[in-house]
Amino acid sequence: MDLSIILYEDEHLLVINKPSGIVVNRAQSVKGETVQDFADAYLHLASREASAPQKSTEPLTKEIKEIFLDRSGVAHRTDKETSGCLLIAKAPVVLGLLLEKFREHAIKKTYLAIVHGKIVPSEGEINAPVGRLPWNTERFGIVAGGKESVTKYKVEKFFEQKNSQFSLVECYPKTGRTHQIRVHLKYINHPIVGDYLYAGRKTARDDRKWAPRVMLHAWKLSFDHPILMKRLEIEAPVPDDMMKIACI
């Protein structure tokens, strides 16, 4: 990854346009560069110019300092194949304030997805609890006892591809559960194109012949800056693969 992925930056935080295929967090099972590796390297260079805010902020705790170092400032996660906006704090106090905003659902996220079928109605809300499947811990689903999960959606367009109908849909998750959008769209029988976990084995295999990944993009972030107190509206350009498929 290079500096061209940076969508917004000031002395407190930055937003990057994460490419599809890049894992966010380091792990023993992960090979290749991660977003966390990028943040480590970049924040080390940027620290010469960045000044950690000391006024009008909550006192730092040992816990948030450890979380900052453990995450390299990365404030949230997206799946490996999901492209788009990712928020990174430059200092522990900023990360703490951003995490609080996430807990309060004060950071608004908009995703774009290409899904199978024609979604009717064209606007709606999916409210169904999401939890890890007990028989397959790599997957999530709608399960009794799962965490409350809410996703609003709006269809942008319908189109045909490969003699089948598809929808380009905006998704607005009000909660931030793992795989939430993917699970919710599967729940209403409109799985995301290329989704190897939730579209079904045969469907995903056929999708991958013409769609190279899970067709999900973290399109926009909207939130009040935790230090500067100004409204930020950040948008990651729709990637070429999605534009080509949906004829945008």
Torsion sign, CA atoms 194, 196, 202, 205: positive
Which residues share a beta bridge with 111?
171, 218
Please give the span between the terminal C-alpha atoms of the chain, in angstroms, as a whole number.
26
Residue 208 sits at the vertex; the CA angle it makes with 236 and 116, to the nearest 5 degrees, is 70
132, two tokens: 């890890």
Q: Are 237 and 20 in contact (CB under 8 A)?
A: no
Which residues share a beta bridge with 234?
221
Query: Which positions are annotated as active-site residues?
Result: 79
State the angle between helix axes of 62-71 and 92-103 in degrees (0 to 180), rounded to the nearest 10: 90
Q: How far apart are CA 121 and CA 114, in angstroms?
A: 16
- CB proximity list for 133: less than 8 A, separation 6 or greater: 139, 140, 141, 143
Exposed e or buried b per residue across 234-244, where buried means at least 16 C-beta atoms within 10 angstroms of its C-beta = bbbebbebbee
Q: 170: how many CB neighbours lie within 10 A of its CB?
A: 16
Residue 103 sits at the vertex; the CA angle it makes with 99 and 109, to the nearest 5 degrees, is 85
